[in-house]
Structure 1
């Protein structure tokens, strides 16, 4: 059975989609969108708007300046969750506790913070599905940003669920955990 991906059709591998099967596709085969895998289901989202990418760049700079030694801020990495080989998400940014690591993906064991920037097409996905999957993977912090409202909430993991820890005020987010950084969300 072929799965439609944009204008392309990609044959489902025998046994269904896995992280290994998805990452084994030739480069550019699924170009034109963000391709993620949740419990064997391939999810394709359009590439983000330019304003979104500019915000990713600003966040990368501010978080990198605050992260310090032993941490690395990376945009758009393949993040493999759990040992099931059937979950791969691509957050807007991650803060990794394994700087300099090489390869095609990180696992939740190498990530202390994930950042998602909402867009109209990903809002529910980011607020509900991804938040739940990151919590289940026991990633310590989840930063959710709503650029339309110029607001952000840092969630901290507590008893296997995320609880609001820090919220932006007046379009500015001041972090004290997992490190100190200030991010101006106003364009």
Structure 2
């Protein structure tokens, strides 16, 4: 079930023939998982390396710009755990999460608390961000999905959930994206 790890990565994940649960993933020791991002879809682990510095820089830029528009009604979190569904076997860690209330505490959010997820495509996460996560977030009824594609130039597309699927409602032009939903925000990618 678990993806192979780099030699000497320190990650030792015991096999789970019947699949993993959210509680089991959240209970993995930090000293063994600090160099990996571990997510869970339908009992199967998705293990990937933490993003590169340029990716993290873009996360910080987007966090600042989204936070400026979020006001007092929303709060923006980088890399928060989001538990999806009531089956206890889906846990994703979007690059950014916008919650519909401020001051939340704990180790995770539920899809009911999330209005927008942001994924920045990395070389190791292309298929997951463009296809798998998009489907999983839509199934969880998260209203908005912002997909950022680094490149020359960086691009961003905002999707809104409509009739059970994400439809594009705004796309960046010349490195800028103006959001009107779920709140007003100006995003500058470059």
Hey, what does 1:78 align to over in structure 2?
81
Deviation at 1:5, TM superposition (A): 3.9
Query: Equivalents in 2 of 1:23, 1:72: separation in Å?
Result: 22
The 5 Å alignment of 1:1-187 reads: 4-6=4-6, 7=9, 8-12=11-15, 15-148=18-151, 149-186=153-190
Compute the TM-score of the two structures, normalised by the length of structure 2.
0.93
Deviations 1:116-148 (A, max 9, x none): 001121111100000000000000000000011
Structure whose residues are more often strand by fraction: 1
Paired with 1:43 and 1:14, the residues of 2 have a C-alpha distance of 15
What is the TM-score of this pair, normalised by structure 1? 0.94
Q: Secondary structure at the match of 2:12?
A: strand
**How far 1:15 moved relative to its partner?**
4.5
RMSD: 1.6
The answer to whether the 8 A contact 1:13-1:21 is kept is no
Number of residue equivalences: 186
For structure 1, which segment, 8-17 or 85-94, has the greater mean C-alpha deviation from structure 2 after superposition? 8-17
Q: For structure 1, which runs of at least 5 residues remain unmatched after alignment?
A: none
Between the aligned partners of 2:46 and 2:80, the Cα distance in structure 1 is 16
